[in-house]
């Protein structure tokens, strides 16, 4: 499936770009709680998710009082 076929935003996740969103969908991650449980290292190791997407997700998590599991 092409990233063009993916939504640009899912769940309560901020907009992080279609490649990163696609990677998270494929990993079964659709909420900030899922992102936190995945952990920062695994998130960064996910193909399609780069440092900018992780920074945006981290900021959104902090605004809601959520932290990474690792």
Q: Is residue 7, in this structure, part of any structural domain at all?
A: no
Q: Does residue 46 fall inside a structural domain?
A: yes
**Domain span including residue 36:** 12-63
Asked if residue 23 is part of any domain, the answer here is: yes
Query: Within a domain: residue 42?
Result: yes
Kindly state whether residue 54 falls inside one of the protein's structural domains.
yes
Tens place of pLDDT for every residue, the chain, 70 residues? 555 665 666 889 999 998 999 999 999 999 999 999 999 999 999 999 999 999 999 999 999 999 998 7
Asked if residue 56 belongs to a domain, the reply is yes
SS3 content of the chain, % helix, strand, coil (to 5): 55, 0, 45
Structural domain total, the chain? 1
């Amino acid at each position: 499936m092409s990233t063009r076929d993916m939504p640009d935003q899912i769940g309560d996740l901020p907009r992080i770009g279609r490649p990163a969103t696609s990677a998270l969908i494929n990993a079964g991650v659709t909420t900030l709680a899922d992102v936190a449980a995945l952990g920062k290292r695994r998130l960064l190791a996910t193909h399609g998710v780069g440092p900018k997407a992780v920074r945006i997700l981290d900021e959104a998590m902090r605004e809601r009082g959520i932290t990474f599991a690792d």
